[in-house]
Amino acid sequence: MSSLLNLTRDECAQRSSDLEVDTYRISLDLSALNDPNTTTFRSQTKVDFTATTSSTWLDLVADKVTAVTINGASAEVKYNGARVQLDGLAKGPNSVVVTAQCIYSHTGEGLHRFTDPVDGKTYAYTHFEPTDARRVYACFEQPDLKGKITFEVAAPKDVGVFSNQSVASEDGGVTVFNPTLPLSTYLSALAVGPYHVVNDKYEEIPLAAICRQSMKQYLESEEIFRVTKQGLAFFNKAFGYPYPWGKYDSIFLPEYNIGAMEHPGLVTFNENAYIFRGAATVAQRESRAEVILHEMTHMWFGDLVTPKWWDGTWLKESFADLMGYLVANEAAGYEGPWISFGLGRKQGAYTMDVRPTTHPIAADVPDLEAARQNFDSITYNKGAATLKQLMAYAGRDAFFAASQRYFKRLAFGTATLDDLIASLKETSTADLSEWVSSWLHTTGPSIITTVREGGKLYVETVSKDVLTGKDVARNHRVKVSTFARGKKGVERTASVSVLLDKPRVEIPLPEGTVVDLAIANDDDLTYALLRFDDASVDVLVDQLSTVQPTLARAVAWSALWNMVRDAKLPAARFLDAVVNNAPTETDSVLLNLILSLAYTAVSAYLNPSLRDAAGARFVAALAAGLSASTPGSDLQRSWANAVAGYGSLSKSSVHTLRETLDGEMTKLELTPTLRWGILRTLASLSAATDAELEAEYAKDKTMTGATALVRARASFPGAENKKRVWGELTGDDKITNDRQGALLAGFSAGPDADREAFITPYFDGLTSWWSAKSMTMATRLVNGAFPSTSVDDGKVGSNKVELLAQGWLDSNAEAPRALRRIIIERLDDTRRVLRAQA
């Protein structure tokens, strides 16, 4: 990130003490939206505010600023590419108007424009979090300076214009919206284009589901509205503060950089992730419901009450993450959200929280560069897991009662950690004196180990701060369950709820309880790594699919996987568990997750010398699972998706891939997504031709099909093909975000040897990429092109990638912190993988 674009906490705190924002009126001229030769648009912002200082600045990233007026008088334009300096302000009310030419984006930042190849229709939409509203209009770009925002948009004829609020007037191609309630600038939103709209209503709240015209046949508006209505009913009651934002639109967008975003009144979603072109699995539909409800939580946590600064990001994201899973289960009627949370979502936190770049949930965020880095698995995933433990520790009723007080006191304002904890202390009898410091201000997961000794069962807990190495006194309220081998598999023998408030706690089991296996976090109530002894591992490897209920299996799988990552269990042993148990797994959500982990175990954590045999064994298991599954079932689709996704591990998968693609699997709908998945895997195995890919694209001439074609072509093996892909990734400044993602995915496919020539150029190019590209595009390139460890047989201390990464860090101590953080993390991952391979 350019230093000009950075904003510090201290300077923003000073600006907040100097100003109080009243209103924004933003006039945008997008009338030339459909002209591809027009690269900029006119933006005029009128902001009214009260000041106690004579000088401040507005944030703006524009092609040029053409005029500034202060309190009706023309002022000298003082613009440095990121800030418009304002001098001569009145101490009191002020009105400033800034006119600029801003730039259409092709990378998903600011105002993103795209043209649909299906019908040639052009669309645009905004994405601003955390600080890209300034790419569209001049503003005070910090969360605690809220204002009432009115958009006024000139657009081409016969297009829809959408924003946070309903339309106030339309005249001569200019749409004026009603002003918002007080809102942070990053939460303002706009979409313009010939979108397809379906309308509905929940009580007095207008609802809409919106997508581009060529996707309308796939828009499952009925299901989207069902989940939306159930969520609104749940939150209105649970939070005791009725939805305040007027309408509730859900719009699905292509080329979207993230999963979704919580703009009140106009929630945006990633089309590729949440509009399904054909049959979808239960896991996919459940994931969409969870994301809908995650964003809906933000209407309260984040939008109604906003963190004062980005060090409070967890005050919105952790709550939204938790509530998304909880409400998808309790209100939307899905059975698997806690499975996805425990074995899927939490893995990101466990991975991040042992790296040297981890941070506390309540992090220190001195500037915007640090803020952008902290939209991560600690803030989201670990934060949500910690709040789930807090609900168990302080009580669910107290948790929601505290939320109600929090919203009532701070509606349309901003908050800090102290505000939330003050409300919780009023509603809960639990001792929270140490909870905040031990959970929110420390790093690293606790390690919980079950120990059988002298006929008794103990649970030992070790909590150390990863960054300081110091012991942490962190209590856990958990359910410990015991199991024994039986005639029908592994059967539960006891369950005990306990508070782990000492390093070693004896579990009070009923007399005579048989313990062949003990799971110390059975309901997944807490955030901790579990450790099993060898005898317990034997039980799980042999018969894990018989453990009941499904959540207990998910917790056990999570523990086994983290033992692999921590080099406590060989990856080959984990593959044994998958091959033994996946064929009899009855839960499709859990099956999807364990097959994904098995792929990673073989492709990364297994020693390269063992991968060919293990890959053949795994794809044989996938073929058998697909063949044995009931035609038309969700399990069959899960197996088919796994064959398409993981068949690249062995050429022995080609027969099954071809058989599936030819439609011999009866009653299995071959969706475009599944067909492209199979073809790109065949391409990576040199078992498909370019003509075959072209023929597939001729049947699927969509934006999604075009991107899939790019990825499949990039997946062909061979050093020359990878050289072509590398050249486009590193040299084309016009590349779109979606095309970049497809090229990166294809580049990483196929033999590692094909990419060995690009290892040194990767490290040579890091600093130039970072300075030349937007932060989003540079981050994706640096992460996506990081070399594989399997370029030689080196171990920790001698691997080529490890040595080059460490050498780059040693030679680039002054490189941007965000760039160094990525390399530090990938180096740590490399060493972790090498230890596991050994």
Q: Report the Cα 640 to chain-centroid distance in Å.
A: 25
DSSP β-bridge partners for residue 260: 269
Question: HSE-up of 284 (CA within 13 Å, CB side)?
Answer: 18
Asked if 409 and 426 count as a contact pair (C-beta separation under 8 A), the reply is no
HEC assignment per residue over 532-569: CCHHHHHHHHHHHHHCCCHHHHHHHHHHHHHHHHCCCC
Contact assessment for residue 479 and residue 500, using Cβ atoms and an 8 Å cutoff: no
Identify the CA nearest to 205 among candidates 240, 261, 163, 249. Answer: 249
SS (H, E, C) 479-536: EEEEEEEECCEEEEEEEEEEEECCCEEECCCCCCCCCCEEECCCCCCCCEEEECCHHH
CA distance 109 to 5: 14
Place of tokens 């972790």: 832
- Strand pairing report for 64-70 and 73-75: antiparallel
Length of the chain: 838
784 burial via Cβ count (<10 Å: 0-12, 13-18, 19+): middle
Q: For the sheet containing 489-500, what is the strand order?
A: 489-500, 476-486, 517-519
At residue 134, φ and ψ (nearest 5 deg) are -65, -10
Q: With contact defined as beta carbons under 8 Å apart, do 418 and 396 qualify?
A: no
Selection from 826, 821, 834 nearest residue 357 by Cα = 821
The token duo for 322 is 């938790």
User: In this structure, what token pair is assigned to residue 635?
Assistant: 């399990």
Q: How far apart are alpha carbons 775 and 817 in whole angstroms?
A: 12
For 11, 208, 367, 502, 759, the CA distances from 18, given in Å and listed in that order, are: 11, 40, 19, 49, 50
Rounded to 5°, the CA angle 519-523-525 comes to: 105
Cα 814 from Cα 85, distance rounded (Å): 29
Active site residue 506: no
Give the torsion sign (CA, 606, 612, 618, 622).
positive
Distance of CA 319 to the CA centre of its chain: 14
345 close to 554: Cβ distance less than 8 angstroms: no
Write the DSSP assignment of 253-309 as a string of letters.
Answer: ESS-SSSEE--TTEEEEEHHHHS-SS---HHHHHHHHHHHHHHHHTTTBTTTEEESS
* DSSP conformation letters of 299-366: TTBTTTEEESSGGGTHHHHHHHHHHHHHHHHHTS--S-HHHHIIIIIHHHHHHHTTSTT---SS----
Instruction: Give the residue from 438, 461, 450, 436 showing the smallest Cα distance to 483.
Output: 450
Residue 672 is which amino acid?
A: P
End-to-end, the C-alpha distance of the chain in Å comes to 38
The per-type count for the chain, helices as H runs and strands as E runs, is 28, 28
- Per annotation, catalytic residue among 141, 255, 262, 295: 295
Q: Are 771 and 781 spatial neighbours (Cβ–Cβ below 8 Å)?
A: no
Q: Which residues are catalytic?
A: 295
